[in-house]
Amino acid sequence: MAYVSPGEDGKLFMHQILFFQQTLGMRVFICGINEKPALLKKIFNPDKNQFNGNITPEKLREFTKSALPAKALEHFSFRVKTGKRLPLLIRQSDKGGYEFMIVDKSNSGSSLSPREIDKLINYSYCPVMTLHENYPVKEIKKIVVPVDVTQSTRKKLLWATYFAKKYGAKIIIVSALTLNLDIKKSLVYRNSEKIKTLLSKRDVECEVQILNAHEQEKHQVILTFIRKENPDMVIIRTHQESNLNNTRIGKFVSELVHRCKAPVFTVNNYIPAIPDEFVLQL
């Protein structure tokens, strides 16, 4: 499912959605939301906050038709909801039966705000992919997967394998080591090598990068690595507590989502493992 607001900004976003649809072969549900203003806003700002309930499935279809090639329309369906968009999107993530949700993180026009995106990622019942409309995805050849080897990595590695095989991409496993010792003698290195072996058995090219974060915050070291590496996609798990930075991981995930221009695919604790039919494709 993709949350889209019709408009010129949304057309750039639609092209990125099409990029994933064409390779993954999924049906995309385009969701439009007619928001009702809060009661106090209606009372004190009646003119500025009139209910703009004019999005319809037909208008979403016409908007999509104006943004994408006509032959692409057969792969899109259209749904319109009314209410507050964040609770609606969280509810749709639970009840809609979607494999994952796509939202625009460019913070322009009527896209979700950074704060709304953070909340959606935290509470969504399906993975969330954030795209930046001004940085179109042209190919996916390099996927970075930050890992904390003391935590479970199964969910995100299954998704990483899925995307890597679909796009013929290489996976870069990255972790940070705070102890001042030989990296190759560390538990982090040994566990990361096990992950590399697992992915190799699935015919996925994989590279392991263990970063020295001695006297530095792990998440900052990893963010710096991602900026320099400039991957085509990042996949991360949003568990609430992590040894990645000895604090709530929310800050790390938020910085990664909003500072990284590439697509960021997030998986949280609420989410079951990748659907069985996807696993069969691995």
Domain assignment of residue 62, yes or no: yes
Domain end, chosen from 100, 131, 162, is at 131
Q: Are residues 26 and 108 in the same domain?
A: yes
CA distance linking residue 243 with residue 249, whole number of Å: 9
CA distance linking residue 11 with residue 203, whole number of Å: 36
Tell me the average pLDDT of the chain: 84
Q: Are residues 34 and 148 in the same domain?
A: no
CA distance linking residue 98 with residue 281, whole number of Å: 18
Q: Are residues 219 and 190 in the same domain?
A: yes
At residue 220, the pLDDT reads 86
| DSSP 8-state code for residue 35 | P
Domain assignment of residue 136, yes or no: no
Residue tagged 């609420």 (tokens): 270
Domain assignment of residue 50, yes or no: yes
Domain containing residue 154: 142-279
At residue 246, the pLDDT reads 42
Q: Residue range 4-8: average pLDDT?
A: 86
Q: Are residues 39 and 165 in the same domain?
A: no
Provide the 3-class DSSP secondary structure of residue 169.
coil
**Helix segments in the chain, DSSP class H:** 8-24, 39-44, 57-67, 85-95, 114-123, 154-167, 187-201, 218-229, 250-259, 276-279
33 against 194, higher pLDDT: 33
Domain assignment of residue 56, yes or no: yes
Domain count, the chain: 2
At residue 272, the pLDDT reads 61
Of 4-8, 243-247, 252-256, which range is least confident?
243-247
Over the stretch 191-243, which tens digit does the pLDDT of each residue have? Answer: 888 888 888 888 999 998 988 877 778 778 889 999 999 999 999 987 643 44
Burial code (b: 16+ CB inside 10 Å, e: under 16) for 187-219 equals ebbebbeebbeebeeeebebebebbebeeebbb
Domain end, chosen from 131, 151, 169, is at 131
Over the stretch 80-139, which tens digit does the pLDDT of each residue have? Answer: 999 999 999 999 999 999 999 999 999 877 789 999 999 999 889 999 999 998 899 999
Of 92-96, 162-166, 243-247, which range is least confident?
243-247
Q: Please state the φ and ψ torsions of residue 77, each to the nearest 5 degrees.
A: -125, 160
Q: Are residues 102 and 156 in the same domain?
A: no
CATH number of the domain at 198, please: 3.40.50.620
